[in-house]
Amino acid sequence: MRKVWIVVANGSQSTIYKAKNTHTLIELKTFQHHETQQSKGELNSDRPGRQTNRVGYGTDTMEEKTPPKVKEASSFAQEIAYYLEEGFNGATCERIYIVAKPPFLGFIRGALSANVSKLVEAEVQKDLTQMRPEQIREYLPPVL
């Protein structure tokens, strides 16, 4: 049987399973990222910077180009992608199925290396992080 991993994720938690056989998923690793659940105020402890206008009076508030929540989601996706890369490099993973909440699925896609991206067989756009492995299995193809 091929070495198949299933990534089940949303923006704050992820579990990676290994397909033991066609019906059984075994948990390999669980990730938690509580920062993505914090409010913008909790993520930013400082007020935005200010800049004085060169012409005229007053100041302008400098806004961040990337919102803090987006930075945290990207960071979490990188953490997951790094683990998948280790599986690829160690030859413990040959195929990957990704089940993730739609906005976070894009972050995962963007974080994967070219080699790991080639291993992705299919994607399911759902948040199944609260489901048991046997329930998750129903959303995947019959033969992994």
* 104 falls within a domain: yes
* 21 falls within a domain: yes
Type of residue found at 23: H
Closest listed residue to residue 34, CA positions, set 80, 72, 71: 72
* 61 falls within a domain: no
Q: Please tell me the predicted confidence (pLDDT) of residue 123.
A: 96
Q: DSSP string of the chain? A: ---EEEEEE-SSEEEEEEESSSS-EEEEEEEE-GGGGS-HHHH--SPPPEEE-SSSS-EEEPPPSS-HHHHHHHHHHHHHHHHHHHHHHTT--SEEEEEE-HHHHHHHHHHS-HHHHTTEEEEE-S--TTS-HHHHHTTS-S--
pTM, whole model, 2 decimals?
0.79
Q: Which structure tokens are listed for 51?
A: 């800049």
pLDDT confidence bin for 23, thresholds 50/70/90: confident
Q: Which structure tokens are listed for 128?
A: 């199944």
Neighbouring CB atoms inside 10 A of 119's CB total 19
* 57 falls within a domain: no
Nearest 5°: CA angle at 16, between 101 and 110? 50
* 50 falls within a domain: no
Compute the average pLDDT of residues 72-81. Answer: 94
Q: Which domain holds residue 132?
A: 4-36+69-137
Q: Which residue has the tokens 């960071």?
A: 75
The yes-or-no verdict on residue 78 having pLDDT over 90 is: yes
- Distance from CA of residue 81 to its chain's centroid? 8
**In this structure, what CATH number is given to the domain that contains residue 23?**
3.30.420.60
Count: domains in the chain: 1
* 113 falls within a domain: yes
* 45 falls within a domain: no
Over residues 95-114, the pLDDT tens digits come to 999 999 999 999 999 999 99
* 122 falls within a domain: yes
